[in-house]
Amino acid sequence: MDYTHLSEFAVRPGALTLWRAELAPGAGWTADERPLASVHVHHCRATDATDPRPGRGRWIGTIFEMDAPFQPAHWRETARRWHARHEGLRTTLTRHDGPEPERLICAAADLGVTAEPIPGITGSREINEYLTGALESRLSPLSWPHCLLATVEHADTGDFTVLVAADHSVMDAYSQAIVILELRTLYAEVARGEQARESPTFGSAADFAQWERDTAAALTPECDAVRYWRRFLDGSGGMLPRFEPAITARGRAATDGEPAPLPQTSVSRKLLSLSDLEQVERAVTDRGHRLSVAVFTALAIAYRRAFGYLSLRAIMPIATRPDLRWLESMGWFVNVVPLDLTLAPDLDLDSALESTRTALRRTRTANDATWTRVLELLNCTDHPRFGISFLDIRALPDHQLVESLRGHTLRAESDSTDEVFFWIVRATDGLRLSTRFPATFPEADMDRFLAEFTRAMREFAIPQAAPVRATTTEPAPLRVPAAARA
């Protein structure tokens, strides 16, 4: 499952329809005393209410092909049941000048779904371009509905493609992955005339927000998690870390004045075949480590070899569903923890793996500490600019079925001049990586970094009669981040 732009997914031609939730005539919103999650509030405050494209760089989603005939009435009921099930999708907020926005909810019984056929837009490219524009202009944390659906009916094959797109405030990466099978199951239930499956695992995102805010309120400047974050920020001049090579490249590009923002470069590719990856997994397991440890170790080795930096420092998004009741919920259940990987100079693989495992275990100190609240306590107003996440798709239910439905998770196009993010997936067919980075950063340099990452991964599978040392090519001069030198 790749994490890509919509423009990188080849939608088959067909009849396009948008679907959105609406309130029944006479229905209204009810004030709810449960707060919004900390990151939700932070997200809303960062949104310009006058921006004509509030979804630009901010929406996320999922696209897949439904393996069933398209029945508009069945799909409408499917979409209604989905919104009714998840309280987060039935939530919006007040807009006032108070300390923070307040939650409003509508009753599940007051929900309807309206269809908006888009005539004349039937080709693959036209569908992608239309949907990209619609999602950028319509999706916002400030305006409900915060989620839009689209279907593309394929008359030649009798099936249809489904797009689910949402403002980040009501969906996270795990939600993106599990929504495919949820909608497929709901559609089948509707077609068979069955009631929707009930489960205690469809917990309310609003209840989670209450839990998260209570946990955040208990943080103090002297608790272990905040002190851990303080040491991490001290390593980059009190700010969140950057992907240093891109910052350096941006500085060179701006010598004649600040350039106008350009769309970021996006790369999605398979780095290791399944057979090659399985060799690596067996070798890493024999050493007593998980694949995730190998992935982050290889990233740190590649950062050293390609660019010469002693440490790989970034933030790492993690899933925060602290109880099984939220296992199948739609919402933003994500925290951010510090990632600081410093390997020994000789890059002995066994030592490097052990160092990485120790560093990853250390991040657990911050797992339940809401990162936005931590930054407030530390008077840090910075925002993440360099992030890395890893997902083993085998942890998801029926992951092979998802692959057969051409399931892809989607991210909006960004024009940030300093953000670099990596999403690494252990997929059913091998190791896949997606990244976005500033247009000013040379693609050749990123290709070199990804090549070094791939080479480092392969080295884990080499029999270790003797330690594999750093490199067979000339390494880059060692560097420390600019912020750390300040």
Alpha helices in 113-204 (DSSP H): 124-138, 173-191
- What the block records as the tokens of 123 is 């080709």
Give the pLDDT confidence score for residue 465 in this predicted structure. 46
Looking at the chain, the number of H-run helices and the number of E-run strands are 14, 16
- What the block records as the tokens of 142 is 């400030």
Give the pLDDT confidence score for residue 343 in this predicted structure. 94
Q: Which helix (H) or strand (E) holds 450?
A: helix 443-459
Tens digit of pLDDT at every position of the chain (486 positions): 788 899 999 999 999 999 999 999 999 999 999 999 999 999 999 999 999 999 999 999 999 999 999 999 999 999 999 999 999 999 999 976 678 899 999 999 999 999 999 999 999 999 999 999 999 999 999 999 999 999 999 999 999 999 999 999 999 999 999 999 999 999 999 999 999 999 999 999 999 999 999 999 999 999 999 999 999 999 999 999 999 999 887 766 655 556 667 999 999 999 999 999 999 999 999 999 999 999 999 999 999 999 999 999 999 999 999 999 999 999 999 999 999 999 998 889 999 999 999 999 999 999 999 999 999 999 999 999 999 999 998 888 888 898 889 999 999 999 999 999 999 999 999 999 999 999 999 999 999 999 999 999 999 999 864 444 444 344 455 554 544 443
CA dihedral sign of residues 12, 18, 21, 25: negative
Give the pLDDT confidence score for residue 463 in this predicted structure. 80
Q: Assess contact for 441 and 249: CB atoms under 8 A.
A: yes
Q: Assess contact for 434 and 422: CB atoms under 8 A.
A: yes
Q: Assess contact for 322 and 385: CB atoms under 8 A.
A: no
What CA–CA distance (Å, rounded) separates 189 from 200? 18
Matching residue, tokens 């896949």:
432
Give the pLDDT confidence score for residue 258 in this predicted structure. 62
Neighbours of 44 (CB within 10 A): 19
Find the helix packing angle between 349-363 and 291-307, rounded to 10°: 110
- What the block records as the tokens of 33 is 């005393």
What CA–CA distance (Å, rounded) separates 387 from 171? 18
What CA–CA distance (Å, rounded) separates 454 from 273? 11
Burial class (CB in 10 A: 0-12, 13-18, 19+), 391: buried
| Alpha-carbon separation of residue 353 from 94, 286, 409, 425 (angstroms) | 49, 12, 30, 19
Give the pLDDT confidence score for residue 474 in this predicted structure. 43
Q: β-pairing, 386-392 with 420-427?
A: parallel
